[in-house]
């Protein structure tokens, strides 16, 4: 599920329903986190006060529904799409699972939803690429390693990455589209048998759009 604010939207809602088949109530605690990415797409988060969510704690019994309201603070939206995560954690008494030998594992349910705030003005799609540094060579032993930066103002959902050189071309097709947030840089290793410098990089998005990346600094 994706929660998305339009460019002129200040409030969004999330509707949560606890199944009437649930065996016990839930007590959900909501937290909003600023969302960034590392080179491999793993989330890098920290608490954020740029949005507020109410209620912060919601009690749901089986069959009940709760509406959470998310609101922007200050002058948002900005020139560039903002990315957050809404984490809903069940803070009720944790469930336990008997693993034998008198031992048990306690666990809590948590839900993690992306929240995107659209940028003002025209959407700009722009990518930059560069070779991976020398210390990335072990990861690229079976292919060509490139880093692609999203220099546009909105996320790009990458379905495939194609690299080409003098007389050769190779593609990496992803099983699932992989989002690159605005301002983020991602690293991919494209399987390739050809040896030679990369001259060009193209990305095909989840919608079928083909974006040609410019060399970084070019």
172 with 160: CB under 8 angstroms?
A: yes
Q: Determine the average pLDDT of the residues in 196-214.
A: 95
Indicate the SS3 state at residue 134: helix
The arrangement of strands across the sheet holding 51-54 comes to 11-17, 65-72, 51-54
What pLDDT does residue 92 have?
A: 83
Indicate the SS3 state at residue 167: coil
Q: Which two tokens stand for residue 42?
A: 């793993």
Its pTM stands at 0.85
Indicate the SS3 state at residue 138: helix
What pLDDT does residue 98 have?
A: 46
Cβ within 8 Å of residue 98, ≥6 positions away: 104
The closest of 104, 155, 160, 88 to 126, measured between CA atoms, is: 155
- The answer to whether the 3-117 and 127-215 domains have the same CATH topology is yes
What pLDDT does residue 104 have?
A: 45
pLDDT > 90? residue 102: no
The Cα 165–Cα 215 span in angstroms is 13
Domain ranges of the chain: 3-117, 127-215
182 with 126: CB under 8 angstroms?
A: no
99 pLDDT band, cuts 50/70/90, is: very low
Q: Determine the average pLDDT of the residues in 120-133.
A: 92
Query: 């490139």: which residue's tokens?
Result: 146
Please state which architecture CATH assigns to domain 3-117. Sandwich (2.60)
139 pLDDT band, cuts 50/70/90, is: low
In tens, the pLDDT along 141-172 reads: 678 899 999 999 999 999 999 999 998 999 99
Quote the distance between the C-alpha of residue 3 and its chain's center.
12
Q: Which two tokens stand for residue 148?
A: 């692609």
Residues in the chain: 218
Cβ within 8 Å of residue 175, ≥6 positions away: none
CATH of 127-215, one of 2.60.40, 3.30.310, 1.20.1650, 1.10.10: 2.60.40
145 with 136: CB under 8 angstroms?
A: yes
């Amino acid at each position: 599920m994706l929660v998305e604010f339009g460019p002129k939207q200040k409030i969004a809602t999330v509707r949560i329903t606890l199944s009437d088949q649930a065996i016990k109530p839930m007590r959900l605690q909501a937290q909003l986190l600023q969302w960034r990415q590392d080179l491999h797409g793993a989330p890098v988060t920290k608490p954020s006060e740029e949005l507020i969510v109410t209620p912060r704690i919601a009690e749901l019994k089986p069959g009940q529904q709760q509406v959470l309201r998310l609101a922007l603070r200050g002058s948002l939206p900005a020139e560039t799409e903002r990315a957050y995560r809404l984490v809903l954690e069940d803070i009720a008494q944790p469930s336990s699972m008997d693993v034998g030998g008198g031992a048990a594992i306690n666990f809590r349910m948590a839900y993690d939803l992306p929240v995107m705030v659209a940028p003002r003005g025209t959407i700009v799609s722009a990518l930059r690429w560069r070779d991976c540094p020398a210390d990335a060579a072990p990861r690229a032993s079976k292919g060509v390693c490139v880093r692609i930066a999203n220099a546009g103002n909105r996320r790009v959902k990458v379905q495939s990455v194609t690299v080409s050189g003098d007389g050769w071309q190779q593609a990496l097709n992803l099983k699932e589209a992989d989002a690159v947030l605005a301002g983020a840089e991602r690293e991919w290793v494209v399987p390739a048998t050809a040896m030679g410098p990369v001259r060009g990089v193209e990305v095909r998005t989840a919608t079928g759009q083909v974006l040609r990346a410019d060399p970084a600094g070019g």
